[in-house]
Amino acid sequence: MVKEGIRILGLDDGYLGKRVIVVGVIYKITGRIDGLISFYVKRDGKDSTNAIINAILGSRFGKTINVIMTNGISFGGFNVFDITEIYKKTGKPVIVIISKKPNFEKIKKALRKFEDFEERWNIIKKAGEIHRVRTKDSYIYYQICGIKKGEAEKIIKKCCRESKIPEPVRIAHIIASGISLGESTKKI
């Protein structure tokens, strides 16, 4: 799967308002950006899974995307998305990038403010095992669906050009934060 022509859709969200922009960068593994998509999700809502699926299936880039890579397991605060459902509906493997090892006790505590706490927590658990891979000078974590661990690690490492975070999600972060705040913010 890690061929020079593969295209990765890197997704990240902007900063919080009632509606939160999500930017997708279509990134060729050689380093070229082939396009952008964008869509909105509700802050702390429950629409991110369907929004991601609809954005991919409705995009002219949809057929050319080989892998989906997200920055985290939720957009717009705690608008948690279901990576198994995304894989099932799009046929595209999903790699969730996590910059620091998650503190599940803190996440559970934060989720308890929602009436549907159990549903959101189950989506997070359903994403599966958290793996660790060394990129650049440190480790990052990731979860996968529809792709083998070894293939995912090859893709992650090949995409880490400027930082420990793979370029598709790093670039999506820069664009999304720039759109939502008027300029990009902290380096990831």
pLDDT digits (tens, 9 = 90+) for 12-53: 999 888 999 999 999 999 999 999 999 999 999 999 999 999
The mean predicted confidence, pLDDT, of the chain is: 94
- The pLDDT score that the predictor gives to residue 108 is 93
CB 19 within 8 A of CB 40: yes
- The pLDDT score that the predictor gives to residue 181 is 83
Residue 152: strand pairing partners: none
- The pLDDT score that the predictor gives to residue 4 is 74
CB 34 within 8 A of CB 27: yes
CATH code for residues 7-181? 3.30.2170.10
| pLDDT bucket at 2, cuts 50 / 70 / 90 | low
Domain residue spans in the chain?
7-181
Q: Quick one: how many helices (H) and strands (E) in the chain?
A: 6, 9
In the DSSP assignment, the letter for residue 59 is: S
